C-alpha cells in the first residue's frame, strides 16, 4: 500500500523526467507518449480564438472584424509552431518556438494542482508552462498555459 501511494504521488515527477529526456533528445515519438497533441492543439486554438475575440471587442475602428478573417490561418500556424518538441521547450522562456535551447527543459519545475493535475514551468517563469493531467496510471500534457495578451 505504501508503494502504491508513493507511485501515485511521485508519478507526475517520473512523467516530467521522461518528457524532459524526450524533448532534450528531440525524440518526437517519445514526446508523444507524454503529450496529448490533439487536446493541446484544441485547447490552444480555443485560447487563441478567445484572445482574438477580446481584442476585436476592444476595437472601435471596425477593422477588428476584418482581422478575424485572417485569424484562422494565423492561429493554425501558431499552433503548429508551439505543438512540437521545440515549441514545448520554448514555453515560458520568452523565446520563439524553435529558438529555445531544448536542454533548458532539464530545469523545469513542477507544481501539483490536486491529485489529477500538475503544472510544469521554467524555473524563472512560474506563470507559463504545461498542464499535465493524470490519464490512467500515467500523465500527459493536455494544455499550454501561456500569456495571450495580444495588445502588447
SS (H, E, C) 42-56: HHHHHHHHHHHHHHH
Look at strands 109-112 and 138-145 and give their pairing: unpaired
pLDDT value, residue 55: 77
pLDDT value, residue 33: 93
Taking a C-beta distance cutoff of 8 angstroms, is the pair 21, 138 a contact? no
Backbone angles phi, psi at 91, to 5 degrees: -60, 125
Q: How confident is the model over 22-50, as pLDDT tens digits?
A: 888 888 889 889 999 899 989 988 888 88
Tell which residue, 97, 62, 60, 58, has the closest CA to residue 77: 97
Q: How confident is the model over 86-142, as pLDDT tens digits?
A: 777 777 777 777 677 777 788 899 999 998 999 999 888 888 899 999 998 899 999
pLDDT value, residue 112: 92
pLDDT value, residue 34: 94
Show me where the domains of the chain are located. Answer: 2-145
Taking a C-beta distance cutoff of 8 angstroms, is the pair 62, 51 a contact? no
Which one-letter DSSP state was computed for residue 27?
A: -
CA angle 49, 88, 5 (to 5 degrees): 105
How many Cα atoms sit within 13 Å of 27 on the Cβ side?
12
pLDDT value, residue 50: 84
Tell which residue, 8, 24, 58, 19, has the closest CA to residue 141: 19
The pTM for the full model equals 0.80
Is 151's pLDDT higher than 60? no
Amino acid at each position: 500500500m505504501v508503494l502504491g501511494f508513493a507511485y501515485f504521488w511521485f508519478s507526475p515527477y517520473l512523467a516530467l523526467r521522461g518528457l524532459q529526456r524526450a524533448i532534450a533528445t528531440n525524440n518526437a515519438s517519445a514526446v508523444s507518449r507524454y503529450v496529448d497533441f490533439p487536446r493541446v492543439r484544441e485547447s490552444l486554438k480555443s485560447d487563441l480564438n478567445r484572445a482574438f475575440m477580446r481584442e476585436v471587442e476592444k476595437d472601435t475602428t471596425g477593422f477588428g472584424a476584418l482581422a478575424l478573417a485572417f485569424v484562422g490561418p494565423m492561429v493554425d500556424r501558431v499552433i503548429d509552431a508551439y505543438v512540437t518538441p521545440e515549441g514545448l521547450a520554448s514555453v515560458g522562456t520568452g523565446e520563439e518556438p524553435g529558438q529555445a535551447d531544448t536542454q533548458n527543459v532539464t530545469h523545469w519545475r513542477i507544481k501539483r494542482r490536486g491529485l489529477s493535475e500538475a503544472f510544469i514551468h521554467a524555473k524563472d517563469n512560474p506563470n507559463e508552462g504545461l498542464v499535465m493531467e493524470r490519464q490512467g496510471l500515467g500523465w500527459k500534457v493536455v494544455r499550454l498555459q501561456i500569456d495571450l495578451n495580444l495588445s502588447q
